[in-house]
Amino acid sequence: MRSSWYLQSSLLVIDTAVHKVSDDIVKAICDFADQTDQVVTWITGKRVQVYLLGVKSEPFLEYARSHELSDLILGFLDELNSQLQAVAEANGGEASEDIAALVGAEEMQVPHTDLLPGQVQVILALTPTTSTLVYDPSQERLSREEIASEMGVRKEDLEDEGLFGLVYKSFPLVLPVEHVYDHMVESYSGNFAAGDAVQIKDGIVHAGPGCKDEPGKPRVVIFMTYRTTREEHYELTFQAKLWDWASHPAIPPMVAYKRLREVYTYGQRKGMDIKPWTFYPPESSEACQMLCTTGGLDETMVDLLVSEWRDMLYDENVQLIDREQEKAELLYD
């Protein structure tokens, strides 16, 4: 595995052990993804997430144990785990037990961030592909005043100890949607071959690329993480996307409406399947969908719909998103 470490300003190559990825392993993972909708997860960019080790991995492990190539597949999983441990230790960290495969890449993912401070992700290619896209680090960082203006909040809310301290660290999340997409670049500009990997730190807005699959040969990458200064490990199901910050009650309703409309209409213009309401429970999704798809709403209707969208998200009894959970820290410190 040739590994690269993506920083905000540079790419540093790290020499690690080389592993030749077997086509049989790739095929086994793809076959599992195709046949078992009940135990995989569809994520943004029309990808299937297969849990290989750790949380939710028992269905795949059962499949692997009964597979005619069980020794090969289980040996590969052991090697993945060992290599992640080695990379984590080399960087003063501790590896997570959770390892997943992402199968397919029909569309580019929505730019997002999914790491809390002190967490690092490792994305390992199992097939030749384009490396993970990141927001161009050469772009000028906006001031706190400019970002606060985009969000409709006070500059003080973007200080390190403010309501949105960590949004400032991942500031591209609040920039104009078209600008963000136009300035996503490859994290590794060379040939990203099977067995190569890129490491991405917290705070970097990134997205899996859209790749045209060859018949029977979808893009397959392994997703692994480790922690350095943080007590908690990464949560596989969490992403903060270009519109999620607008769900916070501190954001003015008209700003939230404008953001949802901007995201949805951009996707429509570009022929991309970007539907923010599909990420929320039924009690919130209907209001979110109307905000996304309906132009010209007056202030009264916007206030009502935004309230309905947010009420379910912040219902302390339902706890679909518990404000005390550590994952909330990514958006509100």
pLDDT number for residue 235 = 66
Question: In whole numbers, what is the pLDDT of the chain averaged over residues?
Answer: 83
Vertex 128, ends 126 and 131: CA angle to 5°?
A: 90
Strand-pairing partners, residue 48, are 42, 103
Domain-embedded: residue 223: yes
Which region holds residue 92: left if phi is over 0, alpha if psi is between -120 and 50, else beta?
Answer: left
Q: What digits encode the pLDDT tens for the residues 120-173?
A: 999 999 999 999 999 999 999 889 899 999 999 988 888 766 677 778 788 999
On whether both 212 and 76 belong to a single domain, the answer is yes
pLDDT number for residue 242 = 95
What is the rounded CA–CA span in Å between residue 253 and residue 326? Answer: 25
Tokens of 317: 């009894």
* b/e per residue 151-163 (b: at least 16 CB within 10 A): bbbeeebbeeebb
For residues 204-214, average pLDDT = 84
Domain-embedded: residue 32: yes
Q: Which has the closest alpha carbon to 133: 147, 141, 142, 123?
A: 123
Percent of the chain beyond pLDDT 70?
A: 80
Domain-embedded: residue 174: no
On whether both 84 and 197 belong to a single domain, the answer is yes
Model confidence at 39, pLDDT cuts 50, 70, 90, reads low
On whether both 273 and 217 belong to a single domain, the answer is no
On whether both 198 and 313 belong to a single domain, the answer is no
- What range does the domain containing 320 cover? 243-330
Q: Amino acid identity of 48?
A: V
On whether both 90 and 215 belong to a single domain, the answer is yes
pLDDT at 1 over 60: no
Domain-embedded: residue 170: no
The number of domains in the chain is 2
Q: What digits encode the pLDDT tens for the residues 40-57?
A: 677 777 788 899 999 889
pLDDT at 323 over 60: no
What is the rounded CA–CA span in Å between residue 177 and residue 262? Answer: 7
Domain-embedded: residue 102: yes
pLDDT at 99 over 60: yes
Q: Are 123 and 226 in contact (CB under 8 A)?
A: no
On whether both 132 and 198 belong to a single domain, the answer is yes
Q: What digits encode the pLDDT tens for the residues 60-95?
A: 999 999 999 999 999 999 999 998 999 999 889 999
Secondary element (H or E) of residue 49: strand 47-53
On whether both 188 and 299 belong to a single domain, the answer is no
Q: What digits encode the pLDDT tens for the residues 294-319?
A: 999 999 999 999 999 998 665 443 33
What is the Cα gyration radius of the chain?
Answer: 20
